[in-house]
Amino acid sequence: MRACCWLLGLLLLPSAASAGELWALSGCTEADDARSRQVAQEVLAAPPTSELHVPHPFPETVGEAFADFDHQYVRSWSKQPRRFVPAEDRWMLELLESDALAAEWLTGANWAPSRCGLVHGTQPAFHVLRLKLRADGGEVARIVLLPSGLLRSLRLRRDQRSFAMMDGHHIEDMTAAQRAATERGLNFERPQYVALAGPTMPCSEANPCIAFRDGER
């Protein structure tokens, strides 16, 4: 069985995938896994005053993920007078307050070295939250959340173009990837979004690639 990653072409990698909804090419240490379980308990038990508190720990729906982001983002600026908040962030706060945003999300597998040994423990997965204007559908923010719902990174649109029109911000459509793989005579088994590091595979969490199994050969 082969595993493939979709970027500008197909890269064949040796498969060492395990069972489960998301699969990876390698595992983490027992110590990393133990730390991950510890952090999970800390998030679940965090009081409202804690930086680890989110309304929906380990979100399971786009609504829960959006609520976790909203809570953390608003909290991060809550002690700053609005006139001192940077223009892009002030605009985002106004959009959140006016319910002007629609949210989409996807979940991917973290194949980067950072998946093991992070401060927040082993992170085998990540969520990408894409915020779009209800008025015209333009993407104005892209957020990466850890599985716990804690905020990992945030990119705001800094001009009038949608993220989808900007170089390096396109996320490949799963249906289009399946069509391209089929045209090349490849199977398209257990596809998933992945993030991994490397000069030839710049697949970040905010701009993940697609990986899939090519089946038995």
Closest to 116 (Cα-Cα) out of 21, 196, 4: 196
**Angle at Cα 83 formed by Cα 80 and Cα 84, nearest 5°?**
55
Encoded amino acid at 53, one letter: H
- Identify the segments of the chain with pLDDT beneath 70: 1-20, 117-122, 158-169, 198-201, 215-217
The H or E element containing residue 128 is strand 125-133
Say what the pTM is: 0.83
* Rounded Cα distance, 130 and 212, in Å: 23
Distance between start and end Cα atoms, the chain: 6
Tens digits of per-residue pLDDT, 165-199?
Answer: 444 567 888 999 999 999 999 989 999 999 987 66
